[in-house]
Amino acid sequence: MVITLLWRFFALIFLGIAFAGVILPGLPTTEFLLMALWCSAKGWPQLHHWLLHHPRFGHMIQQWQQHRAIPRRAKVIALVSMTISCCLLFLSGLPLWVKCVSSSMMVAVLYWLITRPEPSNDTEVSQMKLKQ
């Protein structure tokens, strides 16, 4: 029972961070959604099902689970958000080392992100047929 509550707690924490990432530039959404999905699979089947079938994020999560693919639109949004975040970071009064470390981490994440495959048209068409 305690373990199940811990999985649920972490699922909610990651889900909250993911939804905050929708609003805040520089805070990733997809990664935290995937962590919430993983935690919910361990201890909250209803939330797991809800995430997989969410009207906004469900398709992207399913693409990742089935094909390890990230849609181009998500890549572009991440690129723009992280670029804006880097610019704002360098305009801030933070120490140079913080700016460099943060920017380096964003560049590493962007490199990883753009090297992931995009969903094929066949996959997208089959998903659209399933939704109808």
DSSP 50-103: HHHT-TTTHHHHHHHHHH----HHHHHHHHHHHHHHHHHHHHSSS-HHHHHHHH
pLDDT, mean over the chain: 87
Per-residue pLDDT, averaged over 71-91, amounts to 88
Residue 132 has pLDDT above 70, yes or no: no
Residue 17 pLDDT level (bands cut at 50, 70, 90): very high
Q: What is the pLDDT of residue 108?
A: 93
Task: In whole angstroms, give the CA distance from residue 110 to residue 113.
Answer: 5
Backbone phi, psi, residue 9, to 5° = -60, -50
The CB-side HSE value for 87 (13 A sphere, CA atoms) comes to 7
Q: For residue 74, is pLDDT > 90?
A: no
Helices and strands (DSSP H and E) totals, the chain:
7, 0
Higher pLDDT, 99 or 129: 99
66 vs 26, 50, 74, 117, CA distance in Å?
26, 17, 17, 12
pTM: 0.66
The radius of gyration computed from the CA coordinates of the chain, to the nearest angstrom, equals 17
d(CA 29, CA 13): 13
